[in-house]
Amino acid sequence: MAAEAAAQITPVAAFALIGVMGVGAQWLAWRLRMPAIVLMLAAGLLVGPATGLLLPARDIGPLLEPLVSVAVAIILFEGGLSLDLADLRDAAAGVQRLVFIGAPLGWIGSALVLHYAAGLGWESAAVIGGIMIVTGPTVITPLLRNARLARRPAQLLHWEAILNDPIGALAAVLAFEVVAVLHTPVEPGPALVRMLGGVGLAALAGAASGLGLAAAFRRGRVPEYMKVPVLVAVLLLTFALPDAVLHESGLLAVTIMGVVVANAGLPSYDELRRFKEQASILLVSGVFILLAAELDFGALARLDWRAVLFVLAVMVLARPAAVFIALLGTAIPWRERVLVAFTGPRGVVLVAVAGLFGERLAAMGLPDGTLIGPLAFVLVAVTVVVHGFTLGPLARALGLAAADRPGVLLVGGSAWTMALAEALSKAEIPVLVTDPNRGHLRAARAAGIATFAGEILSKAAEQRLELMHYATLIAATDNDAYNTLVATDLAPEFGRDNVYQVTREKADSARHALPPTLGGRSFGPEGATHAEMARLVAGGWTFRVTRLTDEFGLQDWRKTWPEARLLGQIAPGGQLRLLRAGAALTDQSDLRLLFLAPPDPAGKVRPPVEAV
């Protein structure tokens, strides 16, 4: 076996390998437009059981379990830190039903499937059925990022995963404690008190930590450069204390702590959340590599046809039934219910907790405990792969995902931005124009172009606009400082390479110049500020789109429009690429050029879109 022949590596080398493989899988998935979870799972299997290059139990040893536990705790805290209760609004009722009705139903359904399909005894089925309700933010978040779902179904899946993660772990803990009481000479009373005390301590610790941190940050008791270190230290303490009383109750504590901090209205909230998002990506990658590398192919070999029946029953019976029953009577459209019902990937918490309890149940004399770990891993692997490849297509089939042709978000309702929006719209590029002044959007509404009359940086915009439908942002108001603010604030949402702003006016002195590190890329012809763009359009210049063909290539276009100012290229699939000055141009058939054309000297009126 390759795993036996490979030499042991040091813990430092193991951590380096985990980081490279995890982040590398994420980057490769981005390049290939594939679900990142699938590649991380494959990378873990490759370096682990397939080659033996990394065997966590051998190379990391006793640190493996606490490392995974702490990583899961930080991931759950990051999820709770994203839970702004004001953002749930129309999804709140659905989330409550999925948690308070769907979770118990899922527990019952999972236990039935484990008993009748997988062949486990009722005791083991009750314990692991609780943890099986966990869909897990570690897998849902990357899948949602790739699928780019509409806001409400994305919220339903996201918050269900966050809230059910600690609930599922605690359900498994409660069931396990009951089984332990039945199989050991321990009085039921003390065991029940211990369980309730652990849950109460977890809730109290999470709330107290969140409120204490928020008060300290708001009153300036912690300097800015120490906020993240203090946050991490308190997070670890909040996880460790309840977990020492009741195993896995620390997950509930850190989730509550994250929710409290998220809703405290802290000025530094965005910086804290973005740091935790980046840390969560690293930890998700590392945990998946660890768990996949730890897999024992020998344990999987003990499974039979009942494992296949078990996975199918979970995916097409237990999960859909729990969701459909939980959402009965709500205003959630049937398409969203179908999407949520048939999207239930399991992740890190299921594998970690199931493996732990499987060993403990086997030690109590329950022989089917040895099957729990392999069954959990098979369920995670199949659901991750299946949902990773089907969530996007299913969402598109149901009309709940971003269009294949990403659009442009134009901030600013001037005459020239209206002309640009009309040209893009006629070229079948989705466009949304925003402006706080409703009157500035009158021309866009008359032309049938989507508009939003309001502040683009407001909570209302975040809640009402489906930003995932737009891949490019152009900040084009007559206020350079505001354009810079919009481009800087929304850069993490769109990606810095996809955020543009109209060229800034040259400041009279360095005191009035905006920092070059802020804002987005420069949009428009070189040196053309908002005032210059307005002057050109008022003077008869027009935005046009022309298709290149075998008979009419790039050189022919240059001869036809020698004074035109090229702005971008539209690929055959409809993807818009804005060009900077001096950028290399592609000369290929069926490519369309977006440009600003001068008035025709002959007085000939041409349509804004030609040969499309």
What's the confidence (pLDDT) of residue 112?
94
Residues 302 and 374 sit within 8 Å (Cβ to Cβ): yes
CA–CA separation, 165 and 179 (whole Å): 21
CATH classification of 407-610 is 3.40.50.720, yes or no?
yes
Spans in the chain with pLDDT lower than 70: 1-7, 35, 79, 82-92, 136-138, 145, 166, 170, 181, 184-189, 191-192, 248, 269-270, 273, 276-277, 348, 352, 356, 402-405, 463, 507-514, 581-584, 586-587, 601-612
CA–CA separation, 68 and 44 (whole Å): 15
Spans of all domains in the chain: 2-397, 407-610
CA–CA separation, 107 and 319 (whole Å): 10
Q: 266 to each of 168, 205, 227, 513, how far by Cα in Å?
A: 30, 20, 12, 29
What's the confidence (pLDDT) of residue 403?
59
What's the confidence (pLDDT) of residue 377?
83
What's the confidence (pLDDT) of residue 612?
45
Torsion of CA 85, 90, 95, 101, to 10 degrees: 130
Q: Which ranges of 405-522 does DSSP label H, i.e. alpha helix?
A: 415-426, 442-446, 459-464, 480-494
CA–CA separation, 390 and 210 (whole Å): 38
What's the confidence (pLDDT) of residue 85?
64
**pTM recorded for the entire structure:** 0.67
Fold match between domain 2-397 and domain 407-610: no
Residues 6+ apart with CB under 8 A from 448: 425
Q: 203 to each of 35, 146, 243, how far by Cα in Å?
A: 34, 33, 12
What's the confidence (pLDDT) of residue 473?
93
Query: Tokens 């109460």 map to which residue?
Result: 200
Residue among 123, 168, 160 at smallest CA distance from 140: 160
- Range 397-404 contact pairs with CB under 8 angstroms and sequence separation of 24 or more: 398/335, 398/336, 398/338, 398/339, 399/335, 400/149, 400/150, 400/153, 400/335, 400/336, 400/339, 401/147, 401/148, 401/149, 401/150, 402/148, 402/149, 402/466, 402/468, 402/469, 403/430, 403/469, 404/573, 404/574
CA–CA separation, 163 and 88 (whole Å): 13
At 473-529, the pLDDT tens digits run 999 999 988 999 999 888 877 888 889 999 888 755 555 566 777 788 888 887 789
In this structure, how many other beta carbons lie within 10 angstroms of the beta carbon of residue 606?
11
Query: Tokens 């033996």 map to which residue?
Result: 52
Single-letter code of the amino acid located at 572: P
Residues 435 and 412 sit within 8 Å (Cβ to Cβ): yes
* Topology of the domain comprising 2-397: Na+/H+ antiporter like fold (1.20.1530)
